Structure 1
Amino acid sequence: MEPLISIALCTYNGANFLPQQLDSILNQTYKNIELVIVDDGSSDGTKDILKQYAVKHEQIKLYFNEKNIGFNANFQKAIAYCLGDFIAISDQDDIWLKNKLELLYQSIGNNWLIFSNSSFINEQGEITSGQLLNETFSLKGKTFKSLLFSNFVTGHTSLFSKKFKPFLFPIPKEGFYDWWMGFIAIYHQKITYLAEKLTLHRIHNNSVMYKLQGRDERYKEIIDNLAMTKNYKNLDKNDERLIYKLFKTYSSLGFFDKIFLVKMFFTNYHLLFPDLKPRHGLSRLNYALKLVRKTY
């Protein structure tokens, strides 16, 4: 028999699009699944929808939080309830292609985590222009440094092995749980990418990706991520010192801190920003200066 795959789905006021996502998960070509759903205190019709589906589908394990515990804590709770040999993460408002789980399972190999690509859809479920990652995206040449300032591993595209759980837990309260997942997996070189668009990722007024980031939001995101990653328990001492230094630099941002950042961005440009165009010499220096001025 094929190994059990658990799907961890966290819901919160998702009634508008939830039935489409539930149907796409329950109709996967990979059949040996359990769907673990934890609702974080919804006040719309989400709970009623979940109860109706749970009565009809024995694969669903349904839990309701007594009070709202937040995004990261709720995903940790859902993942902890999962019994599968592999665990997939689901957003409440996407639509999965029918063979998503099958392809991810076939491609994960001995890695801890695999992630894929997504197409964008609007509120009506129509495919729009754009996708999550560029067609040319690759993990080649990327290290943990490539995930310090931006994230390319998104939860809703991911499948991971249960062997990953001891490294993943506890998920920090601050930052983004999928950024944390990607950082740990790439740090141990136990990550792979499947260049297929397996999710229709819905962009709407309440979605995270819809909200444009200003300077302050971007700054807080980086601070939260550095605060999160600097405490990873299995860091090499040199890597721990580097991330801590970056965290302290971002936290104070005095004159000499900015000088340090310019030097850091210049020297490590190809690792920190691997998906930007190649830069050398004066062009790289100008970019480092511009980045410090623009963001800080």
Structure 2
Amino acid sequence: MEDKEKKAPQSDLGASAPLVTIVALCHNHAPFLREALDSILAQTYPALEVFLVDNGSSDASPQILGEYAAANPSWKLTLHTQNLGLCAGFNQAYRQSRGAFLIDFATDDVLLPERVAQQVAAFQRLPASYGVVYSDAELIDEQSRFMRHHFRRTAKGLQPRPASGDVFVDVLERYFISTPTMMMRRATLDELGGYDETLYYEDFDFWVRAARNWHFHFLDEVTTRKRKHPQAMSRTAYLPSDPHLDSTIRTCHKALGLCKNPRELTALAVRLRWEMRQTVRWGNYRHSLAFYALLRQTNNVGFLDWLLARWSRLRG
């Protein structure tokens, strides 16, 4: 932090400024950490509660986090000696927090200055049935250079328009939400009991469980800079060693139990079919057959699905 005296903004809390909790999760983010934490300090929104959580970093992250915590005494610092995982690391802070809304902030990303203010204003315009506000993001590289936007932008605006309202079918069918842009209503997390700590990653499971009973709103603003770098990208995607796949399968099991009609089952089948084909493509026949077993339960199996399952059995 270049200015050691720099402090988080202070302001009297008014009725129009509900408390927002930012849970800043760090694991070996030292090269990007100052930019991330400075982006919290730069927020124009006054009513912030900040939790700094280090998940067993082996680089200089704990020292940097300690420096910022010392300069901002209201910030709460937790240094875990081991990596608890994303879900448990977030949950520990969430359960101590008081914010009416929460942001799960990975400290290799960057919050734009109006991020919190814009999303709180959106929530205040929406009915209480809305549990999530998400937005567009800039994708940046390791040097913080702009790469592209998360959503495709044309002269006519975003094409296609991201889903709002009842998005349960949408989250079953495809990935479209930029996870780092989400602001979550506390009541939504409370209803779900936070993230499922038995899973390797959090977002797909959260979307499915939250979207069953809560509405999502797309805010047409760029609020976040999401960093793309080798450490953030899985090099084992869809291989037998991919740690995400077992969690994806477990989430799809949950989704199957939450589906209420043929349209929702058909949407889940679209995802299962895509996941199955990716695993076959990379020679991961064990997970391919697990996705196929779920696909059969949706009553949406096609001839090509059957052929791929037969191939997987022969190869596996």
Per the normalisation by structure 1, the TM-score is 0.76
Within 5 A, what are the aligned runs for 1:1-296?
Answer: 1=14, 2-108=17-123, 109=126, 110=128, 111-128=130-147, 130-134=148-152, 135-136=158-159, 137-139=161-163, 143-148=167-172, 150-172=174-196, 173-208=198-233, 211=234, 214-216=237-239, 221=244, 223-228=246-251, 230-231=253-254, 235=258, 253=289, 257=293, 260=296, 264=300
Give the deviation of 1:124 after TM superposition: 1.1
SS of 1:53's equivalent in the other structure is: helix
Measured in 2, the distance between the counterparts of 1:80 and 1:291 equals 47
Give the deviation of 1:229 after TM superposition: 5.0
Closer, same or farther in 2 for the Cα pair 1:14/1:165, shift >3 Å? same
Closer, same or farther in 2 for the Cα pair 1:58/1:117, shift >3 Å? same
Give the deviation of 1:228 after TM superposition: 2.7
Closer, same or farther in 2 for the Cα pair 1:236/1:147, shift >3 Å? closer
Measured in 1, the distance between the counterparts of 2:298 and 2:305 equals 6
Q: Which amino acid aligns with 2:142?
A: E
90-99 vs 179-188, which deviates more? 179-188
Measured in 2, the distance between the counterparts of 1:18 and 1:70 equals 18
Measured in 1, the distance between the counterparts of 2:236 and 2:299 equals 25
Closer, same or farther in 2 for the Cα pair 1:163/1:189, shift >3 Å? closer
In angstroms, what is the RMSD of aligned CA positions?
Answer: 3.8
Give the deviation of 1:197 after TM superposition: 1.6
1:216-237, CA deviations, whole angstroms, 9 ceiling, x for partnerless residues? 36987455224135347x9467
- Structure 2 residues without counterparts, runs of 5 or longer: 1-13, 153-157, 277-285
Contact 1:36 1:81 in 2 (8 A): no
User: Aligned residue for 2:283?
Assistant: none
SS of 2:49's equivalent in the other structure is: strand
Give the deviation of 1:79 after TM superposition: 1.8
Closer, same or farther in 2 for the Cα pair 1:3/1:195, shift >3 Å? same
SS of 2:65's equivalent in the other structure is: helix
Contact 1:153 1:179 in 2 (8 A): no
Closer, same or farther in 2 for the Cα pair 1:90/1:252, shift >3 Å? closer
Closer, same or farther in 2 for the Cα pair 1:54/1:217, shift >3 Å? same
Give the deviation of 1:63 after TM superposition: 0.8
Per the normalisation by structure 2, the TM-score is 0.71
Give the deviation of 1:262 after TM superposition: 10
Give the deviation of 1:56 after TM superposition: 1.0
Measured in 2, the distance between the counterparts of 1:73 and 1:252 equals 28
Closer, same or farther in 2 for the Cα pair 1:214/1:64, shift >3 Å? closer
1:158-183, CA deviations, whole angstroms, 9 ceiling, x for partnerless residues? 11111112223252222421222222
Contact 2:132 2:215 in 1 (8 A): yes
Identity, % of aligned pairs? 24
- Structure 1 residues without counterparts, runs of 5 or longer: 267-284
